Structure 1
């Protein structure tokens, strides 16, 4: 494919109430600067030293791969720990390039986007016209400065035979709890795609203690995130981590949010502390805006105030569909005061939902896909994780165990449609849990519908242990759980038509940088049989 120049500036007229005259002025600016000497690739080089004006300190990323498209992302900041990332109000032209080789001798497409303060100086480029199942390299240029080079990959053509997909998933990266060493391992894994399943940031005030005591942080880190500037600062603080940046530059990410991107255990319009719903929706709008600004997703996911439709489906050839869910925005309030509790009439109430009716129908429709495997990629466990038996049996109210009717409808729907390879990949619980998917966990005769693997956290929960007190209690109270580990880490998988094989990658410590990563166990699920094979 020959070099292609793309005219950018698609959404400028919608930003901050811009007038048509402003749009035309900015369009002229783009045209004038697209090939100006200071934006010429020949004059820009990767930064061996980083002067104070270097704007790419938050790294680069790509995401949501399609057969002909991928999103390229960056956000300008000269100082991640300063208000507004050290940027001054205005408009910054940002040139982007995507190439078939890492040295950019075969540029496939290029163009210019305008980074503005209205969008936190973030750039989202939806590059179209790419070839399916193809590895590409990309970078951004501002003046004499070049970003790091990112690697990305498009999805295979829909329905085309695919022999193998290498993917990973991660969640829960509380900055102050430890270093993100798992991401260095992920970055070296040459994956086709990575799923991030929630809790990218934590909203709590960051105490100057623990693994990163004394490390630089924004002034706003001393308080809970409540408004747009706070959330933007928090993302900048996290993205300044070199291992996280390396992971984003290594492969396209498919991203979802959970609770901590807004407020712990929020549900629809209800905050953890039952704040005034109007005030909470204002906070949610700011949190969603910051999430979109800092995530490699398309413009059609951009929030409209406190609303943002992020559930979506990505297909990889004829091998697998991934349905990426939103289990926060449309859910009923947690039952039983959101405390560990026995399941009862409230958890079984068919009017309560974790997905909302529209998304639930969309999930069920996805089970009719002809793909070999059908994955739900989402926030928290479908399985019951009971920590006691008989009369002392209690489960969490925030996961699907507090929304039994939703679980019944989804898993019954999969069985009714004859969907044989149902899998659930999740995060949230700061431990690796491998379990059977059943509609009813108090009836061991209830058929196994699929397999669920929850990844542990990247850092949340500090160092952890192979087996901790909670893990032992879950093993005692949940016979459908076949493996557990409470170290930090992530999951790395190879999917083929014949099996789904996963490595549980863990670190013995995240409290010190540079800790080694090991495989705690492997999990294999054969085609057509929801069986868990360990070892």
Structure 2
């Protein structure tokens, strides 16, 4: 519950979110009062300037985050852990009152809203505060307080009002951060970029067992890191391992994130109720439920995204003034199984089957409905490439069965829908493939007269795939088999963009190595797309 000024209360829906009875709720309310969390305390802490002193019982070792910005609202997040690598994050079973504050200044002299939420074992001691009543297009600062402890201060920003003229949006997108493959140095650069919003497009964690080798050999880790994540406790531990990374924490504290998941938050290349190894669907759905619960606990999203068993509706849309709409997709939960058992294959009747889908019917219609929005730009923010990344030519031509190239009818329906509605400035931003790819968006990549309908930019990975190279064997094969691909780079990094009414300008930010910490980040290429025509300009 959002509270103005110093009116501090328990969040009104805590009993539902914590699975509590009314008796437990009343007990917790009494506990908050007994611990002295009162309006007077809120006023005192706001004016005294809380200090963050790191002691063994310091509970904010997983940092803070904000997300899903709206014109009047943003989500504030933290997860309490005194020892991220210990069972239960070092926390004692029970309930912890957490005070939160959001202010117009970094010193918290002008509190905009504050309140108290209860962190419970049921939700992994995570806190999601949906702050309402904020001003549009406004920068805010926030923090959490538990007893004498203050969290790091985070910066966030609300979206402009719907239809408000907007001259510039600075944003970034990232994906694929396999912890054992390297350091998250790209996030240090992202955190210093003063962004309006960051999109994370999947593979926040990896479910594989982590061997004590590679770039992070010998570093502290959770006990469960040595095995594949299968149950809720393991998934929670894996998020704790990742979130203990200082560069990732800095990125989260620097700007609001809009997040979705891909496959590795659950199981490699899963599709709907089908696991990679074709496990019993009933067993896999139990695993998916645990994975979804852990994702929600560790992501700055609203309570209405909280999963119900193995189901979680995460596709949603964000508008930034009159400039752009971002439709954030879920291409895992509702998809048909991969054609030809996954892998690489020639496109044929199976990949073109109109009964097959990567989005599901309801989400597909929702995407099409979004094309009617009056915004100047229309972005799809999702997991994997819509473009064909073909290797080989003629009878040797093959594409991936997991991306949209294995679901041709889905791509046709989406791009046909944009064309039929007269939607211009269609763009796709994705991750997944561990390389930067800049490509033309076309309905049919084997039809040389198929019209150009938009531009797609895939970001490389933060760390997955280890150091990489500017050009590798796979990249050369894609360039040879895919004339619509105009640029590629297999270094690690992320994409940073400035969007205006006249152009979309992106910087390919890369590091020469992630196996060693502290490597500088550089711009490998700048990509510009002018408004009104899907033309890729490099340089």
Tell me which interval the TM-score lies in, with the shorter structure as reference length.
over 0.9
3-state SS of paired residue (2:313): coil
C-alpha distance in 1 between matches for 2:7 and 2:358:
44
- 2:485 aligned to 481, 484, 492, which one? 481
Residue pairs, 1:52-63, within 5 angstroms = 52-63=56-67
Cα deviation digits, residues 160-209 of structure 1 (max 9, x gap):
10000000000000000000000000000000000000000000000100
Q: CA deviation at 1:214?
A: 0.2
- Contact 2:4/2:114 (CA < 8 Å) preserved in 1? no
Which of the numbers 121, 128, 146 marks the counterpart of 1:124?
Answer: 128
Question: Counterpart of 2:490 in 1: which secondary structure?
Answer: strand
Deviation of 1:47 (Å): 2.8
Give the 3-state SS of the residue equivalent to 2:7 in structure 1. Answer: strand
Distance in 1 (alpha carbons) for counterparts of 2:186 and 2:427: 23
199-208 or 31-40, which moves further after superposition? 31-40
Q: Corresponding residue for 2:51?
A: 46
Equivalent residue of 2:112, what SS? Answer: strand
Gaps of 5+ in 2: none
Match of 1:86 among 63, 73, 90: 90
Q: Classify 1:44/1:93 alpha carbon distance in 2 versus 1 (closer, same or farther; 3 Å).
A: farther
- Structure 1 residues 345 and 6: CA distance shift in structure 2, 3 A: farther
Contact 1:437-1:452 at 8 Å conserved across structures: yes
Deviation of the 1:13 alpha carbon: 2.1
Structure 1 residues 31 and 506: alpha-carbon distance in aligned structure 2, compared to 1, 3 A threshold: same
- Distance in 1 of aligned mates of 2:159 and 2:177: 27
Distance 1:203 1:387 in 2: 28
Deviation at 1:45, TM superposition (A): 3.5
Once the two structures are TM-superposed, the CA of residue 402 in structure 1 deviates from its matched residue by: 0.2
Q: Aligned equivalents of 2:17 and 2:77: distance in 1?
A: 18
**Counterpart in the other structure of 1:400:** 404
Whether contact under 8 Å (1:34, 1:111) holds in the other structure is no
Q: Distance in 2 between matches of 1:44 and 1:281?
A: 47
Displacement of 1:83 in angstroms is 1.0
Partners of 1:44 and 1:146 within 8 A in 2:
no
Q: Offset of 1:401 from its aligned partner?
A: 0.1
- Find the counterpart in structure 2 of residue 300 from structure 1: 304
Please state if 1:19 is matched with 2:5: no
- Structure 1 unmatched ranges of 5 or more: none
CA distance in 1, matches of 2:464, 2:24: 45
**Alignment correspondent of 1:187:** 191
Question: Given the alignment of the two structures, is residue 34 of structure 1 paired with residue 37 of structure 2, yes or no?
Answer: yes
- The CA deviation at 1:22 is 1.5
Instruction: Indicate if the aligned counterparts of 1:4 and 1:108 stay in contact, CA closer than 8 A.
Output: no
Contact 2:69/2:256, CA 8 A, preserved across alignment: yes
Aligned to 1:532: 536
**Inter-partner Cα distance in structure 2 for 1:182 and 1:251:** 15
Question: After alignment, is 142-151 or 37-46 more displaced?
Answer: 37-46
The equivalent of 1:455 in structure 2 is 459
- Answering whether residue 496 of structure 2 is matched by residue 492 of structure 1, we say yes
1:7 and 2:12 aligned: no
CA distance in 2, matches of 1:362, 1:351: 18
- Paired with 1:346 and 1:142, the residues of 2 have a C-alpha distance of 56
Paired positions, count: 534
Equivalent residue of 1:211, what SS?
Answer: coil
Deviation track 1:111-146 (CA, whole Å, cap 9, x = no partner) reads 000000000000000000000000000000000000
Give TM-score scaled by structure 1 length.
0.98
Aligned to 2:212: 208
- Displacement of 1:35 in angstroms is 2.7
In the alignment, is the contact (CA less than 8 A) between 1:38 and 1:144 conserved in 2?
A: no
Q: Please state whether the residue corresponding to 1:210 is helix, strand or coil.
A: coil
**Where do 1:171-320 residues align within 5 Å?**
171-320=175-324
What's the Cα RMSD here? 1.4
Q: Which residue of 2 aligns with 1:139?
A: 143
1:70 corresponds, among 68, 74, 91, to 74
> Residues 14 and 117 of structure 2 are in contact (CA less than 8 Å); yes or no, is this contact kept in structure 1?
no
Report the alpha carbon displacement of residue 249 of structure 1 after superposing the two structures with TM.
0.2
- 1:34: Cα distance to partner? 2.3
**CA pair 276-507 structure 1, distance change in 2 beyond 3 A:** same
1:255: Cα distance to partner? 0.2
Partner of 1:361: 365
Render the CA deviation track for 1:362-419: whole Å, top value 9, x for unaligned.
0000000000000000000000000111110000000000000000000000001001
1:454 deviates by: 0.2
The 1-side partners of 2:51 and 2:522 are apart by: 32
CA change 1:158–1:38 in 2 (3 A) is: closer
Cα distance per residue 1:255-300 (max 9 Å; x no partner):
0000000000000000000000000000000000000000000000
Instruction: Indicate if the aligned counterparts of 1:54 and 1:145 stay in contact, CA closer than 8 A.
Output: yes
CA contact (8 A) 2:95 2:120 kept: yes
Q: 1:211-249: per-residue Cα shift (whole Å, max 9, x none)?
A: 000000000000000000000000000000000000000
Q: Distance in 2 between matches of 1:258 and 1:396?
A: 16
Q: Could you tell me whether the CA contact under 8 Å between 1:340 and 1:397 is conserved in 2?
A: yes
Give the 3 Å change call, closer, same or farther, for CA 209–424 of structure 1 in structure 2. Answer: same
Q: Is the partner of 1:113 in helix, strand or coil?
A: strand
Deviation at 1:9, TM superposition (A): 2.8
d(CA) in 2 for partners of 1:136, 1:187: 16
Q: How far 1:24 moved relative to its partner?
A: 1.9
**Are 2:164 and 1:153 aligned?**
no
Q: Which residue in the other structure is 1:115 paired with?
A: 119
Report SS of the residue matched to 1:346.
Answer: coil
SS in 1 for 2:267: coil
**CA shift at 1:36, angstroms?**
8.2
Task: Give me the whole-angstrom Cα distance separating, in 2, the residues matched to 1:447 and 1:382.
Answer: 15
Indicate if the aligned counterparts of 1:38 and 1:143 stay in contact, CA closer than 8 A: no
Kept in 2: contact 1:6–1:109 (CA 8 A) = no
What is the TM-score when the length of structure 2 is the normalising length?
0.97
